[in-house]
Structure 1
């Protein structure tokens, strides 16, 4: 990176950390530290909710997801606007009425302490893991850029977030997230227009979309009912809906954002604002990935975007075999470029038969390209099975490193790091809150002072920051990072959502039945993931949200009916 990139990157991050620390230092009590004094306006809530969800993984993985698989991933978010409406109508009024610090306080009022504690522990497990991943994701980027050690980078990023989150609590998170969202959206729009300027002069935006369509990248809607398919309309509107309901309705990292609202209406408007903008924002980020794909139809792309994988294979005894495959790939790239240029010319002529013929030729070349890339992955895996051959997370990094002009690289890296800091700060804030309020304070026998619990909140936030850094040091790429986060969430969210739905709508079910059902469901979900997804891909992980929700409701309802029947017989 040039000096200008360093100046832009470092000044952006230093400003965010310093501003967050200065603006929110000196919280006087737990209410200020955890709920920000309940003074937030709807636009602050909306931006904070959006920034919490839009982690570095979003901007690291999503363009690569679009590059390889097209726009279909956007279907994952189709259930989110519906979830926002349900949460606004059901969840928010209850949480505000009870004046809770956390979502899980409501569960004790409805069921009992052990159900509240169990649900809080399930949250701590999945969100603690996710916090490590949100630190690990940007470390990959800087490691590729600077060649620095991943563990050192994990420590630097984690410490930056800990500084202002421990100091200012929820206020610090909300204040900094507004600046972070500005940096994020500025950077992504800049990236989009830069990519368009790099395309050949005769390739307009409309032509670029048609080229992407000819390469099967614009298939947004898939109505086929296939349980193995991760991203189709049905998995998005069911599994995606349940995941969004659980995430925004029961995950403290999000609930804490809208509990800071001045009123029920402010919180509701904030969530509706997020629901209306999230799908278009995700669509746009995928579109950036599509334009990166079009760019690489006219420019050289490596067989595998992971530089560590390429370096390892070129140092091995398979180097000649890989180099021969690389030569074949380069020859194929010339044919693909000629095919795209021919297709672009035919679009101007508007000849239907020639267009169909050109699209078929592009399709055949793409099949060959995919076979070369798969062969490259097989070679890399044979050299070192521990090296990640799935390169989705490296596509956007490769583009930034090799094509972005001086100054803009610093901005785009600031985008990804800002996103990492915003989501990690929310997670640490929520983890500290849950540990303090739901576990420590609730299970402490002697009453402590307000100052004591404020200090405890800070120390628990700091503790989870250290845990997140440690977990990040053991992180590794999965299918890709954005899917790893969603898989971790799907293992727990369905169960937790089912518990809340039981609390809201199944008045005959009591605490013991829910507690037994929740433990049973969690064990079944773990087994289902292992045997039906990890070992044998029978279903998509998104269905775990639906299965978990329905299962805990069913088991708790049956147990509740049995308990009620025994009670009536005993009477």
Structure 2
């Protein structure tokens, strides 16, 4: 970023923190229930959205196209299932959360185990926020990634103590609005910077010719790919679990004065989410087209580039870079010819194959560069797909706007982190054996809150520090969610519709969850399938063991009667 961007970036940060610190937040607890159906549907999208998806999804589409959208096709089915299978049970029981329902229909051990599993999931998701903040900061300062994580943790401790439990800088629906405007702005900027005379229809034709706009893949795909069967089955389970276990969604639904509005709004959430995610992925796909006509870096993470250039492998890296840019120059010439023929409604397969071949050679050089970076510093992460959009923002967005975008991303991520830390702290305190507060012990409870918060931040730092970025951020999110969501949903459904001995049920939960962890670390099963494995595994195992237990119990009773 240049001086203008830095000035705007710092100014926005200062203004945001000043407003947060000195302006009273006026919150009407009933106002959210008197809004329109559309307003509530948008609020639901905000609740279920993660800021870093705006950063990560374009990189996912750049690499593999928009087939990732198939995962979100399960959302409408999940909404229907939640409305007509789960929420009626909540309403009959007059429960405030899924955890309260499980407690009332099983026992304390199963309730606590469910809460612990959910807290572990939320803590793992919080580590992604730390990663995302470090990634944004790494394009601003040349500091080691792990060093950044330490500074981020210290920053969270300071902000948490400063703002106490007033834990947001932006409200979630405002974050959604600002980030959506940013994506629209970036989309427009990409189109503007494409070759003269190349309009939206030409751009889409060019992008589609390289298989970046293929939405549905009906064939069963490889481990790292996405197909309709895999995504539809597991996406439905995943989003049912997220909706059913989300306390805020249930609370809003229960307290709403207009039940028909909230029902319709849940459907709107399910329908709007797909085009919303599609547009983000589409932005990443046309970013692929943009880099066919413009210089792309050999490696997108600037901190890693700085690392290798300061090492003994600098000369080798520069040699690879020179060869890489020769290939890019040839690809640019071929792309210009190919786009001109597309403009004339003609697709030249020879040129298309040439571009694909050059792209493949460029990808090989990028892998060689990643190998050199690893040799220079084995601790750094070489997965750079999340930096693709950040690179475009940093180098191709007009001066001044770059500072605004980076500031909004950073503030939104910090706000998300503060919210999660606050929620996790309160949840941990709720399951700890603490006496009810009164005037005499109010101060110790407040101290305990801050102590738990600080310990939580330190724990998140340790996890983030030692667990590598094994995929891009959005896939890490759904990996973590998939490892737990199937089990959590099965616990809830069995509590609602099944009858099981609590002791057997408790043992089955542990067996299934440990089995999922074992399979994840020892097999090549795609991470999405753990949703189906969790639901089916726990349901079948609980049913079988409960049937065996009941049979043994009946046999024993018959023997006792005969005796």
What TM-score results when the alignment is normalised by the length of structure 1? 0.86
1:521 to 512, 519, 532: 512
Q: What is the rounded CA distance, in whole Å, between the counterparts of 2:87 and 2:23 in structure 1?
A: 27
Distance (Å, rounded) in 1 between the aligned partners of 2:505 and 2:442: 30
Decide whether the 8 Å contact of 1:75 with 1:236 is kept in 2: yes
1:326 match: 321
How big is each residue's C-alpha offset from its partner over 1:101-127, in whole Å with a ceiling of 9 and x where there is no partner? Answer: 332010011111111111001011110
Counterpart in 1 of 2:197?
202
* Corresponding residue number in structure 1 for 2:151: 152
The answer to whether the 8 Å contact 1:145/1:401 transfers is: no
Matches within 5 A, 1:11-160: 13-14=16-17, 17=20, 22-24=25-27, 39=33, 41=35, 45-147=40-142, 150=148, 151-156=150-155, 160=159
Partner of 1:166: 165
Partner residue in 1 for 2:551: 565
1:486 aligns with 2:474: no
Q: Tell me by how many angstroms 1:44 deviates.
A: 5.5
Once the 2 structures are TM-superposed, how far is the Cα of residue 90 of structure 1 from its aligned partner? 2.2
Partners of 2:421 and 2:456 within 8 A in 1:
no
Of the structure 1 ranges 477-486 and 298-307, higher mean CA displacement relative to structure 2 is found in: 477-486
Aligned partner of 1:467 in structure 2 is 456
Query: Could you say if the C-alpha distance between residues 501 and 481 of structure 1 is closer, same or farther in structure 2, counting changes exceeding 3 Å?
Result: same
Describe the shift of the 1:90–1:415 C-alpha distance in structure 2 as closer, same or farther (beyond 3 A): farther
Cα offsets for 1:61-86 (capped at 9, x unmatched): 11111112211211121211211111
Pick one of 395, 399, 410 that aligns with 2:392: 399
Q: Which residue of 1 aligns with 2:350?
A: 357
Partner secondary structure for residue 405 of structure 1: coil
Whole-Å separation in 2 of the counterparts to 1:487 and 1:454: 40
Q: Secondary structure at the match of 1:50?
A: helix
Residues 217 and 564 (structure 1 numbering): CA distance in 2 closer, same or farther, change over 3 Å? same
Contact preservation (8 Å) 1:136, 1:472:
no
Deviations 1:250-283 (A, max 9, x none): 2446555655644544443343232112121111
SS of equivalent residue, structure 2 residue 26? helix
Distance 2:380 2:402 in 1: 27
1:158-184 superposed Cα distances (whole Å, 9 cap, x missing partner): 65577667137xxx79x8122222212
Structure 2 residue matching 1:417: 3-state secondary structure: helix
> Is the Cα–Cα contact under 8 Å of residues 432 and 458 in structure 1 kept in the other structure?
no
How far 1:291 sits from its partner (Å)? Answer: 2.3
Instruction: Please give the per-residue CA displacement for 1:396-419, whole angstroms capped at 9, x wherever unaligned.
Output: 111111122222113322442354
Q: Aligned-pair distance for 1:515?
A: 1.0
Change beyond 3 A, Cα 1:241–1:385: same
Cα separation, 2, equivalents of 1:265 and 1:116: 31
| Distance in 1, Cα, partners of 2:440 & 2:82 | 33
Contact 1:381 1:387 in 2 (8 A): yes
Unaligned runs of 5+ in 2: 559-563
**Other-structure match for 1:295:** 290
Q: 1:346 aligns with which of 341, 349, 366?
A: 341
The two structures have a TM-score, normalised by structure 2, of 0.87
Judge conservation of contact 1:252–1:430 (CA < 8 Å) in 2: no
CA change 1:424–1:84 in 2 (3 A) is farther
Moved more, 96-105 or 361-370: 96-105
In the aligned structure 1, how far is the partner of 2:419 from the partner of 2:255? Answer: 13
Which SS does the other structure have where 1:78 is aligned?
helix
- Please say if 1:379 is aligned against 2:382: no
| Alpha-carbon shift at residue 518 of structure 1 (Å) | 0.4
Q: Residues 343 and 20 from structure 1, CA distance in 2 versus in 1: closer, same or farther, beyond 3 angstroms?
A: farther
Q: Is the 8 A contact 2:512 2:534 kept in 1?
A: yes
Paired residues of 1:191 and 1:412 also in contact (CA < 8 A): no
Query: What is the Cα-based RMSD across aligned positions, in Å?
Result: 3.2
**Contact 1:428/1:465, CA 8 A, preserved across alignment:** no
Aligned residues: 546
Q: Is the 8 A contact 2:96 2:247 kept in 1?
A: no
Could you say if the C-alpha distance between residues 328 and 344 of structure 1 is closer, same or farther in structure 2, counting changes exceeding 3 Å? same
Give the conservation status (yes or no) of the 8 Å contact 1:521–1:551. Answer: yes
Secondary structure (helix, strand or coil) at the match of 2:67 reads helix
- The farther-off stretch of 79-88 and 451-460 is 451-460
Measure the CA separation in 1 of the matches of 2:447 and 2:59: 37
Distance in 1 between residues matched to 2:104 and 2:17, nearest whole Å: 43
1:495 aligns with 2:490: no
Tell whether the 8 Å contact from 1:491 to 1:544 is kept in structure 2 after alignment: yes
The alignment partner of 1:297 has SS state of helix
Cα gap change, 1:259/1:478 in structure 2, threshold over 3 Å: closer, same or farther?
A: farther
CA distance in 2: counterparts of 1:71 and 1:212, whole angstroms: 11
Please report how far the alpha carbon of residue 531 of structure 1 lies from its aligned counterpart in structure 2 after TM superposition: 0.3
Tell me, in whole angstroms, the C-alpha distance in 1 between the residues paired with 2:22 and 2:243: 27
> What is the aligned counterpart of 1:539 among 496, 506, 525?
525
Q: Deviations over 1:379-410 (max 9, x none)?
A: 22233322211111111111111122222113
